[in-house]
Each structure stands twice: as C-alpha cells, then as structure tokens.
Structure 1
C-alpha cells in the first residue's frame, strides 16, 4: 500500500477499466515498448497498469489537507497524465504533451489503478466525482474525456457529414460528443452489430458495417460524390486509415485517435497533392474532465450499455481476453476484492 507524502492523496480504488492500450502493452506493441526504428520505450517496468480509475480518498498529505480542497472520503479521479509543470509544453498550458510524459499505468513512478490503492502525487490533475453517480457510468469519465477531445479536434460544424470509424468504448463516447455538435449527418462504422446498435441509440444517423458493404462508396453516395467532411479514426486497425483517406472529401479533416499495435502505411499523396487534408492527432483528454463529468452525470453523454463486464481484479486475464476479442463485451471493468 502506498503512503501519502505531504502533497499526495492515496485513494482506495473503486474500479478500473481495461483499455485497448493495456492489452497492447501486455502483448508488447512497439508503441509502448519501443523498436529499432526510433520509437523510444514508453513503459517503465515494473509498473501497475490501469489509467481508467476512480476511487475514494483514504489518506491525504498534510499540505493537501491544509489547502482544504480535498478530504477523506471524497470520490476522486485524476487525469491520465501527471505533468512535470516545468517543460516547454507545461509552461504553455499544453500539459497533456508534457515532455517527461508520466502517464498512470505505464511508468513505475505513477503506478495505475489495477490495485487496491494508488497514489496521486502533487502534480496530478484531480477532480471530484458525484458520490451518487453509478460506478458503471463514473468509470467512463477517463475514456469519454479522450472522446470529447478527439471530437473537438475535428471542428465538426452544423453542416458537416461526420464519420466515426470504430464503436468501441471510446468511439461510443465520440458518438455522444459528436451528437452534441449536431452535424447534419453522423455516420458510425464498426464490424460488430451490437456496437452499431448502441451507436444508433447514442445518436448516430447512419450505421454501417465495412465487412458487409462498401462504406466508402456509401458515404460518397450520400454526399453527392464528394465524401465526408470529418473522419475520426478510432478502430486501431490499419485498414481504417486508408478507408478514411479514400472516404474524406478534398479539404476535409482527418482525426487520428487510435494507438496502433503495428506500423501503419498509407498513400500520403492523398493528404497532400490530391486532397490537401487537415490531419489532426488526438491525445488524452486535456481540459475535458469537468465537462465530461457533468455531461455523464446529467445524461448529455449517454453511457447505458457500454460497461458490459465487471470482474474481480484477480480475474484480470479473463478481462484482458474479453476486451481483446470484443465478442459481446465492450468495456470490461476490474474491481478490487
């Protein structure tokens, strides 16, 4: 059990979701373990994984207590990143791109939430969660904050046709967030019927399965041959990148959210000479937590049906397998015993 220094908070973990990045880390993807092509090692082992956590404060450092901001028993969440506050990015307010880049669950100095207890250090960005918000909804704050950020990056307008590729937990969060932007048409793509049906309930106007129809042609047909205005890639599958580049209109906006398990190649001339696209990356959920907590709490961001499995922490391997296969499971949550 970690103990609180003067500026720390110790929480008893209530629940921790399993993310696709946890699976890729477990399997050894170069995005996390580095490779011989220049990608540095991101993981600092040994570490405790888990960055989709919520919990209750059980120990508070003297400086934290003196500030009066948090007290024992508060239900809390911290953003995934623990920024250094000193690098170029932190000083500019771009803390989510902190050069040191300590993220809970990937480095041993900021161990994650797949444990009974975890420590929030001084630099943590911590928020209170309503005590009466059901766990199955509260545990989605972290992934949904990422979803909100990705949707914001797409600059969706009222007259846009927006396509979200992938209706996993994050893609479903994007559906709810994109619906709040009220585009003229919101299209969601996925290969699993249960996820598509949930996307429809969450606000998608059109749902399609790329394995059963030519989705590129279908989107072009509904846009007089031009293509969609915004394409948000949230599948983590390499084929979705080429699909999006072919589907999007000239001068469109492509948002890449996924972390891939392998190197992805594409025809970059589509981005430049052929279509002059705006290409946006999306990382973490900066400045999105207060809105996300409020919108989940009041129902603006729908959550019902996203958490499909709740398992004891000792059954983490079963949970990882369920998340990897995705058959009948969308979000798997672990709870300490």
Structure 2
C-alpha cells in the first residue's frame, strides 16, 4: 500500500509498505479521508517527529477486515476515531485527566492517517472508534476529532450563560470553538487574528466580533463590547506565547484563560501574577480529546452546529501531503481546512 512518510522539512515521500496485519479485537480500515491538522504542520516544519513517520490522525474510512472477537463493528462500517487511548485505571484517568495518562501517548494508529490502510488496536476498537451517519460524507467526518478536542477544551472553560468569550486565533480550531460557542447561551463571541481572510470566514460562521490586530486594538474592542469589564473566557487557539499575558490583561475578574495551543517552542513570558489573588483568575491548559466527546462531535457536525461545508476549503490527494502542508502553513494563502482524500 502507499504511505506518505515525513523525512525532513519539505521532504515527504510516497513509500510502498505492507498492509498492516490485524490481530484479536483489531480492525483494518481503508482510509477515505484524513484532515490536515495544525499539529501535523507543526511536526513537519519543526521536525519534532522521526524521519519515516506517517503523520495524520483526523482519519475516517471503511472497515475492510475485522479480527476475531470484534462484535461492535463489521466489514463495510463507516467509522471515525481518535489516535490515542487512555488506560482508564491510572491516577490521572481516575481523576478524569485522560489525556495525561502515561499510556495515552503510547497508543497509536498503525501507521498514520496519510496512508491507504491503518490498523486499529483492540483498545481503539473498544473505546475510540465510532460509526458515522450514512448522510455524512467522509470529508465532513474528518472534523469529528478536532471538534471533539474543542468540546473537551470548552468543558475546562466552564462557560456559563451570559459570558463574553474571546478566541485568539481564527484558524480551524478557533472557528470551531466559535461555532460551538454560538450554540451556547453566551452574550458575545469575539475572535482575533492577523489574517483578513480567516476573519472574514469567522464572520461567515456567525461570530459576533472579528478583530484584525494588525489594524485595531483588541483591548479597545473588548472594552467596548464588555463595558470595560473584560471577557469572562479567553481561548488561546494560536501557538504564540505572547498572547498569554495579553489574555490575562483582557480577563474580567474571576475569568479564565484556556490554553489550547502548544507554547513549548516559544520564549518565556511574564504575566501579572497579582491577578490570581486579587481577581481570582485562572489559567487552564487542555490537550487532545478524551473518549467522551466524540459522539457529541459527530452530532454537532450532523445537525449543522459545525458547518463542515464552509470549514473545508480544499481537498488534496494523498500524494500531495507535502504540498498541502506547505500550502496550509503559508500566511499568504486563503485556506481554512485541508482534507486529504484517497
């Protein structure tokens, strides 16, 4: 089968590899579509994975083989799933921090979503594989994983009716957050970015206020919308560490910042630590997705809460993965979400 392997920056190779063999409780999936995630772009550009790695985790496809002991699924089922599975029994799992489980990062699909077939382990099949409606296209189903991640993040935000929410970053994750928020009883949703194109797309999704920080003061907009009170929630959906101190400044008393992007490759920042005591603010990080958000994500795509048709702006072939990453990473391109199809 064909698999697209990362070897270096701008060096993706089409390789012929054996179709994975499945064992007890496992299934073999024929990939139909796989979304290109910001983390795929980050890994490819910053070389955080080993040469030979097959990226891609927003996968969906058709089951073509089932192992002995599989009763939940059958050949021909259309499914979508996640890449990591927790153990459900460790210290972190018992406290519902499933993504911190030591086994979480050790469980993976084989080989990766940018291939013709993948093997899903018994744990994946039991806990993190879900059927998709016949009415949902494979392309739209690729959004289930990022939507589930956003649902997971918003749980940590503890959003309440009447809240004013600011999203920093109008990429795919930012606009997914925005669409989910517009279906909650919040007062206003604001989103900021430097891309006029992405902000115009955010407007199409019904987000109340868009702010191009190259041209306008974000603080002025927040002050105007909230009557100088600040926002109740800030969701940082861009991996820029300098956004964190700004987010803290824009919070209302008792507010909460949700860090939804990795900052590890960026410099340290200084925040106003006094606000933790005198204003009871909080900063919470959220990573990936637990097994308990996928069905809600599929429903949100199916019922139109997430406008999948508008989200997916480009489809590219599996042998164009390298081109797709370069294209999606360019700040000059008018692109929201790229899906790889076979």
Tell me what 2:251 maps to.
248
- Which of 321, 324, 333 is residue 319 of structure 1 equivalent to? 324
Question: 1:142 & 1:222 partners in 2: Cα distance?
Answer: 32
Does residue 301 of structure 1 match 2:306? Answer: yes
Q: TM-score if structure 1 supplies the norm length?
A: 0.88
Does residue 272 of structure 1 match 2:272? Answer: no
| Cα displacement (A) at 1:274 | 5.5
Query: 1:82-141: per-residue Cα shift (whole Å, max 9, x none)?
Result: 22345333355543322122367xx6x743211000111011111111132123321111
Does residue 333 of structure 1 match 2:339? Answer: yes
Question: 2:105 & 2:285 partners in 1: Cα distance?
Answer: 19
Query: 1:117-175: per-residue Cα shift (whole Å, max 9, x none)?
Result: 01110111111111321233211111111112222221222221111111111111101
Tell me what 2:29 maps to.
11
Does residue 60 of structure 1 match 2:66? Answer: yes
Tell me what 1:228 maps to.
231
SS in 1 for 2:315: strand
Q: TM-score if structure 2 supplies the norm length?
A: 0.86
* Closer, same or farther: CA 57–270 of 1 in aligned 2, 3 Å: farther
Matches for 1:110-129 after TM superposition, within 5 Å: 110-124=110-124, 125-129=128-132
Does residue 284 of structure 1 match 2:288? Answer: yes
Query: 1:229-266: per-residue Cα shift (whole Å, max 9, x none)?
Result: 11000011223222211211222111010123434423
Tell me what 2:143 maps to.
140
SS in 1 for 2:334: coil
Tell me what 1:39 maps to.
none
Tell me what 1:87 maps to.
90
In structure 1, list runs of 5 or more residues that go unmatched. Answer: 34-42
Does residue 21 of structure 1 match 2:44? Answer: no
Question: 2:110 & 2:268 partners in 1: Cα distance?
Answer: 30
Question: 1:101 & 1:131 partners in 2: Cα distance?
Answer: 30
- Which of 197, 201, 216 is residue 200 of structure 2 equivalent to? 197
CA contact (8 A) 2:80 2:142 kept: no
Backbone CA RMSD of aligned residues: 2.1
Query: 1:4-45: per-residue Cα shift (whole Å, max 9, x none)?
Result: 10111110111111111112212236xxx4xxxxxxxxx566
Tell me what 1:38 maps to.
none
* Closer, same or farther: CA 316–334 of 1 in aligned 2, 3 Å: same
Does residue 49 of structure 1 match 2:52? Answer: no
Question: 1:22 & 1:266 partners in 2: Cα distance?
Answer: 29
Report the number of matched residues.
318
SS in 1 for 2:69: helix
Tell me what 2:100 maps to.
97
Question: 1:76 & 1:264 partners in 2: Cα distance?
Answer: 41
Question: 1:46 & 1:264 partners in 2: Cα distance?
Answer: 32
SS in 1 for 2:310: coil
Tell me what 1:156 maps to.
159
